[in-house]
């Protein structure tokens, strides 16, 4: 990855709300080499009844691409993910993710009940809280906790384009599928 955000740093990637777009995932895949792991914060295969079909909608092709990912993949269940989606996923879909990475405690959820998730992250003393759902990228600090939403890989809402997040030992950033850094922040 050529982003200066990552020079010399270990990193992992966070994405969300791909909604079955094999094309958006394909563009994202070029950033994966070198990552410690990838976290997808929900709404993986189905586009949802309120959303349009994303470009290159191909849940089966997306499933095949996920199976080829060469780094650990963590998939969080979103509000558009059904039980049948688990049959297509290469790893289990989980409701919550909690990991300790490079001295940083991380919790992840889809975020459809953000108030409950916020409370859980703050009470648990997590340093980084990952969520999706809104399709709007954001970084918000509250006390010692950073709330990170990577936006959507395929159906962005708001003013920003499709995006994902990079979390490195030096900080974090929101990045477009063209590699443009929209926001960066040090720890």
- Percent of the chain clearing pLDDT 90 (strictly above): 87
- Position 1 scores a pLDDT of 43
Find the range with the poorest average confidence among 6-10, 64-68, 107-111. Answer: 6-10
Whether the full predicted model's pTM is greater than 0.85, yes or no, is yes
Residue 71: pLDDT band with limits 50, 70, 90: very high
| DSSP track, 49-114 | TTSPPPTTB-HHHHHHHHHT-SS-EEEE--TT--TTHHHH-SS-EES-EEEEETTEEEEE---TTH
Q: In the chain, where does DSSP find H-type helix?
A: 22-29, 59-67, 85-88, 114-123
Query: How far is 101 from 103, CA to CA, in rounded Å?
Result: 5
Residue 4: pLDDT band with limits 50, 70, 90: low
67 φ, ψ (degrees, to nearest 5): -70, -15
The full set of domains in the chain, from first to last, is: 4-186 (3.60.21.10)
Per-residue model confidence as pLDDT tens digits over 44-53: 999 888 888 8
E strand residue ranges, 109-176: 128-130, 138-142, 145-149, 163-168, 171-176
Per-residue model confidence as pLDDT tens digits over 120-170: 999 999 999 999 999 999 999 999 999 999 999 999 998 989 999 999 999
CA nearest to 178, candidates 161, 158, 154, 157: 161
Query: How far is 168 from 20, CA to CA, in rounded Å?
Result: 27
Judged against a pLDDT cut of 80, whether residue 65 lies above it is answered with: yes
């Amino acid at each position: 990855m050529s982003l200066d955000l990552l020079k010399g740093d270990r990193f992992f990637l966070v994405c969300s709300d791909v909604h079955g777009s094999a094309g958006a995932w394909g563009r994202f895949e070029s950033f994966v080499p070198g990552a410690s792991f990838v976290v997808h914060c929900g709404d993986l295969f189905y586009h949802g009844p309120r959303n349009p079909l994303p470009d290159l909608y191909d849940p089966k092709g997306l499933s095949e691409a996920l199976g080829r990912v060469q780094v650990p993949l963590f998939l969080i269940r979103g509000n558009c993910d059904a039980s049948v989606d688990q049959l297509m996923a290469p790893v289990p879909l989980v409701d919550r993710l909690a990991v300790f990475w490079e001295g940083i405690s991380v919790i992840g959820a889809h975020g459809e009940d953000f108030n409950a998730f916020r409370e859980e992250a703050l009470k648990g003393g997590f340093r980084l809280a990952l969520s999706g759902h809104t399709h709007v990228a954001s970084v918000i600090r509250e006390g010692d906790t950073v709330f990170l939403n990577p936006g959507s890989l395929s159906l962005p809402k708001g003013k920003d384009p499709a995006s994902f997040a990079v979390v490195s030992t030096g900080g974090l950033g929101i990045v477009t599928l063209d590699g443009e850094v929209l926001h960066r922040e040090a720890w």
